[in-house]
Amino acid sequence: MSYKVQLEKFEGPLDLLLYLIRKNDIDICDIPIAAITDQYMAYIETMKLLDLEVIGDFLVMAATLMQIKSRMLLPPDPLAAEDAVDPRDELVQRLQEYQRFKQAAEDLKTREAGRQDLFRRVVDQEQLDQLREDAQEVTFEASLFDLINALNAAMGHVQDKKTYNIRKEEYTVEGKIHSIVHLLLDRQRLSLMELFSKAASKQEMVVTFIAILELIRLREIVALQRRQFDDIEIVRNSANETAA
């Protein structure tokens, strides 16, 4: 695929591991390395399909996981001490340390937001009504891994439609961007799975996904979830519209 995705904010390999640990409700100190490695590699394959620029960092972690998986499959050495080092220990320590740094960053971000609320700007009544309306529904922005998870789920359940037309259908990112923006002019929010279900093939599904990533990068839309790992909806970025 000639269209290369470039994102300003991109989660790294450790973020993906933590995402999979949360998604599978796993104890971080007792990671089932074989299952996690298989799931991690599935995300890698999707990233290759999307031609994401940071794939190299994820491949390094994939090699680490494969090495740990191989060491755990080996039979225990009868001559080794009983308190032999678990091959997962170093990875677990890295994840725990990274998790602490992420939590500290989130705490600082929360404090910053709290300080900003101490000196509110005067807004007009229309803006105030919109803020109250938004406050009634609690949502949070979906991560890239949530989006990839939705794409994998859609591609796993939808078979390519058989067609006997000689003319080949061509899908472009620019065309899908125009289509999505046009839909959002008539509707306040769109379900990601609804967009995927309209695709005639997996190729069209991937092009739609890249168009969504591009719109997120341009801050034209925001991908939201009501709960973690829940269905994803895309909405127009109200902050971007206000700035415009």
What's the DSSP call for residue 219? T
Q: Give the separation between CA 199 and CA 206, rounded to whole angstroms.
A: 9
Element (H, E) at 232: strand 232-236
User: Tens digit of pLDDT per residue, the chain (244 long)?
Assistant: 455 555 555 578 999 999 999 999 999 999 999 999 999 999 988 888 877 666 788 888 999 999 999 988 887 766 665 667 888 999 999 999 999 998 888 888 777 766 665 545 555 555 545 555 555 556 778 888 888 888 888 888 766 555 545 455 678 999 999 999 999 998 889 999 999 988 888 889 999 999 999 999 889 999 998 887 788 999 998 766 544 4
Q: Where are the domains of the chain?
A: 8-75+85-120, 138-163+170-244
Residue with the two structure tokens 């740094």? 101
CATH for 138-163+170-244, options being 1.20.58.190, 3.40.50.410, 1.10.10.580, 1.20.1070.10: 1.10.10.580
pTM over 0.95: no
